Amino acid sequence: MGSLNIENVKKAFGPVEVLKGIDLEVNDGEFVVFVGPSGCGKSTLLRVIAGLEDSTSGRVVIDGDDVSVTPPAKRGIAMVFQTYALYPHLTVKNNMGLGLKQAGTPSAEIERRIKIASAMLSLEPYLERQH
Ligand SMILES: Nc1ncnc2c1ncn2[C@@H]1O[C@H](COP(=O)(O)OP(=O)(O)OP(=O)(O)O)[C@@H](O)[C@H]1O
Ligand SMILES: [Mg+2]
């Protein structure tokens, strides 16, 4: 359990400003739901909180600590994605690379991107695991 404070968080993708200064306080034990039309920025905000995406400006504070530049694995929070497809017959690594493989991405590039993502999430020890 803990608290979350979001202070004037903005996120732009190029010229498109998706988060336009979000302020939110979530106290210990509170349950919060983000509701809004598709594309309004719900997932982007969750990704910024989790550290999977950098905000353009503003602060994310967890339990009083500014984690705005803290890597995701060190934030002590978890995220479950709205859509996921994990194949039990594939290793963690092959699950991670499947979308890229199907898109025809060269295997060296797949390796490179799995390395970056797994380092970000401290998943390296599990890459060869089946589940
Ligand atoms: N990596 C990215 N690069 C460019 N634009 C992006 C990127 N990620 C999200 N966007 C854009 O940001 C906006 C918000 O997207 P986001 O996925 O946060 O919406 P959402 O509220 O979660 O939508 P949904 O209800 O469909 O899940 C959309 O216009 C989307 O196209
Ligand atoms: Mg979403």
Residue 131's pLDDT is: 66
- Residue 17: CA atoms inside 13 Å, Cβ hemisphere, count? 6
Helix axes 107-120, 92-102, angle to 10 degrees: 130
Q: Tens of pLDDT along 37-76? A: 999 999 999 999 999 999 999 999 999 999 999 999 899 8
Interval 85-127: pLDDT, tens: 788 899 999 999 999 999 999 999 999 999 999 999 899 999 9
Best of 19, 43, 47, 49 to mutate for ligand 1, by most ligand atoms within 8 A of CB?
Answer: 43
Under CATH, to which class is 4-74 assigned?
Answer: alpha beta
Residue 47 CA: which ligand 1 atom is closest?
18
Amino acid, res. 49: I
Q: Residue 69 has what DSSP assignment?
A: T
Domain residue ranges in the chain: 4-74, 92-126
Is pLDDT at 1 greater than 70 in this prediction? no
